Amino acid sequence: MTCTPRSDESDNELTVTQHIINVDLEKGVVKDFIINNQFLMNKSYSQNNKELVPNHLEKIDTVERDESTIADSSTDTLDDIPDGGYGWAVAAAGFLGYFVLMGVANLWGLFSQAYATSILKGKASTLELITIGSLIFVSLNIFSPLSILLSRFGTRFSYGLGGFLMCLAIILAGFSTEVWHLYLTQGLLFGFGGSFLYMSIASVIPQWFTTRRATAMGISTAGSGLGALAMSPMVNFLIIEYGLPWAYRILGFFLLGICTIGTILIKDRVPPSCRKSQPLLKSPIQLSMFKIVNFDLWLLGSVVSLLGYLPGLFYLPKYAADIGLDQTDAANLLAILSAMNAVGRVGLGFIADKIGRLNMFIIISVLSGLFSFVIWPFATSYNILLVFCILWGATSGMYYALAAPITASVVGVDKLASGLSITFIFSSIAAMGTPIAAAIQQITPNNGYIGIQIFSGSVYIIGSIICIILKYRLTGSLLAKY
């Protein structure tokens, strides 16, 4: 395709082409595209056309679709976007990417338990091992802005490079004999490569879809839960049959094959040369955002709540072993938890459309906290722990589905880019919940789990209280839909 250069003239000229973020109120997706400034200068059009100037930000919705806000900025009109066709192959590539990235990341609890009982037994503490899983999520978020630099080379290049680095990290981790080897490989290198793959998927889907963008992103992000669901029993089998080092190597080459297929499938519809100006990607983080009290409350409430998520996810295999379950049972429970996590994000996301996104976030935070208080401490058998995995798994990960629409509602569409950037960076802080939980366990009598369970439940409840305060500030009512 061809593209025309964009004017860099002053904003005072009526013919200046501008980059507009638009909210599709009916389909619930965030779009961004190019329109001529003459439309904006027409006050009656701006006031009457809610498709260009939305007034009801609470209508924004995504289901794990925060990535879709990073849209392309080509000069195409919306009518030029196929909204399907080869785009479904691109969505499949996104699915494969998430399958590898989040599938492996969510399995760290299984890996850490295997290391603690074999290669690193007596050489690394629980705190040292469990921190590696948190490091994956920290590096994934911290390095994501750097991946923007690769956009000039095209999506296929950044996706392929990211996939290669992740698989290389897993293969190299198979040669680890010290805990710091894992910090460098499965922690930093895997997260570093994952950031390239993550951002390439986020930026390419909007090139192919408009009204079906939410569906396409839903297909892509479904790989997260299904990856852990499929790989949990697979990894457990490899560890038992071939040992931990070879399990890593086999897994690495298996994932390399998946990433290769994804690299072949993924494709830019808009050439990189036509996307040199991308305001959403170029917009710096605005420190003035921190002057918005409601935004500060949202950051605080969401991060505090999210502190309780990774401890439950990563400690499950170790907890299962400590109550007498075997490694296969632990792997199956982790697979069920991951599956319910994926189901919950979609199903509860649909309910959130009806009752309000912030309302849903408050509800699931309270429920996750209660499950940690009421069920987890008494889960001393497979059946009770299974109930906990089903219920807690369905509610605990909803932050990732609701973060983008709630942020947009709080700060407004005009500040969405900066707001999301800050929100994603701050979510990295929540990865510290796991080492905090490990430190708590070390001072708990007999290395019990009651301290972790109280910590996980408490931060969910505290986060929900902060969000209740936020809701009251926004609506003046505790019962309003928001």
Res 367 pLDDT > 60: yes
Asked if residue 164 lies in contact with residue 111, where contact means CB atoms within 8 angstroms, the answer is no
Q: Which CATH number fits domain 87-475: 3.40.50.300, 1.20.1250.20, 1.10.357.10, 1.10.10.60?
A: 1.20.1250.20
Mean pLDDT of the chain: 78
Predicted local distance difference test score (pLDDT) of residue 418: 76
Which tops the pLDDT comparison, 379 or 274?
379
| Interval 79-86 mean pLDDT | 73
Mean pLDDT over residues 79-105, rounded? 85
Q: Is the pLDDT of residue 28 over 50?
A: no
What is the pLDDT at residue 245? Answer: 94
User: 269 or 182: which carries more pLDDT confidence?
Assistant: 182
Whether residue 213 is predicted with pLDDT greater than 80 in this model: the reply is no
CA distances from 249 to 99, 142, 182, 199 (A): 18, 27, 14, 26
What whole-number percentage of the chain has pLDDT above 70? 77
Question: Which two three-digit tokens encode residue 21?
Answer: 């973020």
Tell me the sheet residues that pair with 21: 32
The predicted pLDDT at position 96 comes to: 94
pLDDT of 35 > 70? The answer is no
pLDDT tens by residue, 38-47: 333 333 333 3
User: Region 406-422: what's the mean pLDDT?
Assistant: 78
Q: 17 pairs with which residues across the strands? A: 36
Give yes or no for a contact between 112 and 410, defined as CB atoms under 8 angstroms apart.
Answer: no
What are the two backbone dihedrals, phi and then psi, of residue 212, each rounded to the nearest 5 degrees? -100, 15
| pTM for this entry | 0.71
- The mean per-residue pLDDT over the stretch 326-333 comes to 90
Q: Which residues contact 247 (CB under 8 A, 6 or more apart)?
A: 114, 174, 235, 238, 239
Domain boundaries, the chain: 17-78, 87-475
pLDDT in tens, 146-170: 766 666 788 899 899 999 999 999 9
